[in-house]
Amino acid sequence: MVERRILVVLGCVLLAGGCSSLGAVFDRSSDNGLEEVDGLLGSVERAHLECELSRTESAVALDALHAVVAPDFRGDAILAYGELEGQLELSVEQAANLRATIAPMKSSAEGVAAEWRADLEAFGSDVMRQKSRERLEETTSAFVSVQAPLVAACDAYDLFNMGLTDHVLYLGHDLNSSSIAAIEDELVVLTALQVDLDTKLDACMRAAGEYVRGNALRGQLAAPVAMSEDSPSLRMASGN
C-alpha cells in the first residue's frame, strides 16, 4: 500500500512538471510568432510598393530630361530645366525610400528565423521538428530571393540618379543645341541605365509577390490566383 502511494505521488509530480514545461512552451503572450511573421510580410509589401513608386519616379525624371533635350523643343528652357531639377530631387528621394526598406525587412526576417529556430527545440516529435525545420529553410530561401533583387535595384537606382545628376549639372550652365549634341552618347547610356533599373525593379516586385503568396497568413489572400504583382497591396485583409 505504501509503495502504491509513493508511485501515485511520483506520477502526480511528473505530470505536474510536464504540464509546467508545456505551459512554458505555449506562453507566447510577450512574443507572438505569427505577429512577427505578419510584420515581415508587411515589410516585404512595403518594399514592393517602393519598387513600384521607384519605377514611376525614375521614368518621369528621364522623361523630363528628354523633354529638355528634344530636337523639337519650343518651350521655356528655364522653366523646363527647373522641372528637370525638381524631378531629379524626387527621384533621389525615392531612391532613399527604396533603400530604407532593406534594413527593417532584414531585421524582421532575422527575428522570425531566430524565434523559429528556438522553437524547434520544443517539439516532442522528431518528424514534426524536421518538417518545421524544412519550412524554415524554404521560407529563409524565399526571403533571400526578395532581398537580393532589392539590393540590386537600389544600386541600379543610385547609378541612374548619379548619371541623371551629371546631366542636370552639365545642362545647368550650357543648355543649347550644340551642348546637347555633344552628349548624345551619354543620353543613350542614361536611358539604358533606366531600362536596367526598370528590369531590376520588376524582378524585385515579382519576388515580393511570390513571397507573400507563399507565406501570407490564412485568410489574408482573397484571390491568390488573380493577384497581380503590380498592385501596391499584395494581400487582401480578411475583415480586419
Q: How far is CA 8 from CA 11, 13, 17, 38, in A?
A: 5, 9, 14, 46
Does residue 76 carry a pLDDT above 70? yes
Poorest-confidence range of 89-103, 142-156, 211-225? 211-225
Query: What pLDDT sits at residue 33?
Result: 79
Does residue 98 carry a pLDDT above 80? yes
- % of the chain at pLDDT higher than 90: 63
CA dihedral 67, 68, 74, 78 (to 10 degrees): 130
Over residues 46-62, the mean pLDDT reads 97
Q: How far is CA 143 from CA 31, 159, 209, 215, in A?
A: 21, 25, 11, 10
Query: What pLDDT sits at residue 34?
Result: 85
What is the reported pTM? Answer: 0.79
Does residue 9 carry a pLDDT above 70? no
Closest by CA position to 234, among listed 33, 10, 47: 47
pLDDT band at 32 (very low <50, low <70, confident <90, very high): confident
Query: What pLDDT sits at residue 218?
Result: 81
DSSP string computed for 50-84: HHHHHHHHHHHHHHHHHHHH-TT--S-HHHHHHHH
pLDDT tens sequence across 114-130 = 898 988 999 999 999 99
Query: What pLDDT sits at residue 87?
Result: 98
Q: In degrees, to the nearest 5, what angle opens at C-alpha 93 toward C-alphas 88 and 95? A: 95
pLDDT band at 30 (very low <50, low <70, confident <90, very high): very low
Dihedral sign for Cα 123, 125, 126, 129, please.
negative
Pull the grid cell for residue 239: 475583415
pLDDT tens sequence across 122-155 = 999 999 999 999 999 998 998 999 999 999 999 9
User: Looking at residue 122, what DSSP letter applies?
Assistant: T
